[in-house]
Amino acid sequence: MTAQADGPLLSVEELSVSFRTAAGETDVVRDLSFELPRGGSLGIVGESGSGKSMTSLAVMGLLPKGGTKRGTIRFDGIDLGTYSERQMRSFRGDRAAMIFQDPLSSLNPYYRVGTQIVEAYRSHRAGVSRREARRVAIEALERVHIHDAASRVDHYPHQFSGGMRQRIMIAMALAMEPELIIADEPTTALDVTVQAQILDLLAEVQSSTGASLILITHDLAVVSEVTENIIVMKEGEMVEHGTTEGIFCGPRNDYTRRLLDAVPRIDDVIGTMRTTDTIATMPGDDR
Ligand SMILES: Nc1ncnc2c1ncn2[C@@H]1O[C@H](COP(=O)(O)OP(=O)(O)OP(=O)(O)O)[C@@H](O)[C@H]1O
Ligand SMILES: [Mg+2]
24 lines ligand 1 (CB under 6 A): no
Q: Is the pLDDT of residue 277 over 50?
A: no
- How high does pLDDT run on average in the chain? 88
* Ligand minimally distant from the alpha carbon of residue 237: 1
What is the tens place of the pLDDT at every residue in 263-273? 665 555 455 55
What is the model's pLDDT at position 134?
97
* Cα 13 to averaged position of ligand 1 atoms, centre (Å): 20
Say yes or no to pLDDT of 282 above 50. no
| Average confidence (pLDDT) over 3-7 | 69
Digit-coded pLDDT (tens) for 171-191:
999 899 999 999 999 988 888
Question: Residue 4's pLDDT band (boundaries 50, 70, 90)?
Answer: low
Rg, C-alpha atoms of the chain: 19
Helix (H, G, I), strand (E, B) or coil at 202: helix
Average pLDDT over residues 72-86: 97
pLDDT tens figures, 101-132: 887 778 999 999 999 999 999 998 889 999 99
Ligand 1, pocket-test mutation among 45, 50, 216, most atoms within 8 A of CB: 50
Locate the domains of the chain by residue range: 10-277
- Residues 206-259: pLDDT tens digits? 999 999 999 999 888 888 889 999 999 999 999 999 999 998 888 788 888 888
In the structure, what pLDDT confidence band is assigned to residue 1 with cuts at 50, 70 and 90? Answer: very low
What architecture is domain 10-277?
3-Layer(aba) Sandwich (3.40)
Q: List the one residue out of 63, 94, 104 whose CA is nearest residue 211.
A: 94
> Which residues have CB under 8 Å from 127's CB, separation 6+?
none
DSSP class per residue in 132-199: HHHHHHHHHHHHTT-TTHHHHTTS-GGGS-HHHHHHHHHHHHHHT--SEEEEESTTTTS-HHHHHHHH
pLDDT of residue 257: 85
Would the CB of 266 count as within 6 Å of ligand 1?
no
Instruction: Tell me, in angstroms, the distance from the centre of ligand 1 to residue 5's CA.
Output: 34
Nearest atom of ligand 1 to the alpha carbon of 218: 25
In short, whether 40's Cβ falls inside 6 Å of ligand 1 is no
